[in-house]
Amino acid sequence: MISDDLDQLKKTAATEAAQFIRNGMVVGLGTGSTAKHMIRALGEKVRAGMNLRGVPTSQETAALAKQAGIPLLEADNRWEIDVAIDGADQVDPQFNLIKGGGGALLKEKIVASSAKQFIVVVDHTKQVPILGGAFPLPIEVIPFGWGSTAREIESLTKSRVVLRERNGGPFLTEAGHFIVDVHLDRITQPGELETALNLIPGVVETGLFVGRTDVLIIGTSQGVRTVHAPRK
């Protein structure tokens, strides 16, 4: 399937996700290609008279939201988020995710964990029987001693760890951290792996989102499919 077709599936699914938003809600706004469509759909609701406020997960998302006319809450506000909507790089049958391909995983996880409901929007190509394989696991790390942190990650996972680069130097997150991408063949126990990785000094956050998804909205060539996660 060509990329334009996949983008249309993302748009259709993101528009469906926007239907979960009600007047007066505080909405967590994800980052990435799928989130862009969701932000535009919410902007249309605002122009039609809906009252909502957004909490962006990146500077890119904040700029898109402002362009769409969505009022934003300040980052240091003690917000209570009703619904967060975001995409994913991979999703397994248990609704666990790999996120962070765009480098916004720390803010994305803060917003997702703060939300009363977390909605994940993907096209069908992001569904996998098991996490890992074709898509590496991003891990945000502190620049100080990152090489030592990477060695500990390698020792734990028995997998190749690569520093993410951009424009000839390390990729910097908005928080000023590095990202290392871990090339795991299979992540059979994502919850245990997330816990173990977070115990390594220097690890800020991982791209594993385990047990956080409440609703999964999937764009397919046969239409949009909405699946609710089992009650936690």
Active site residues: 108
The DSSP element (H or E) to which 189 belongs, if any, is none
Query: What is the distance between the alpha carbons of residues 122 and 35, in angstroms, rounded to a whole number?
Result: 10
Residue 46 identity (one-letter amino acid): V
φ/ψ (deg, to 5) at 200: -80, 125
- Tell me, rounded to whole angstroms, the distance of Cα 206 from its chain centroid: 11
Give the 3-state DSSP-derived string for 111-159, with helices as H, strands as E and coil as C: HHHHEEEEEEEEEHHHECCCECCCCCEEEEECCCCHHHHHHHHHHHHCC
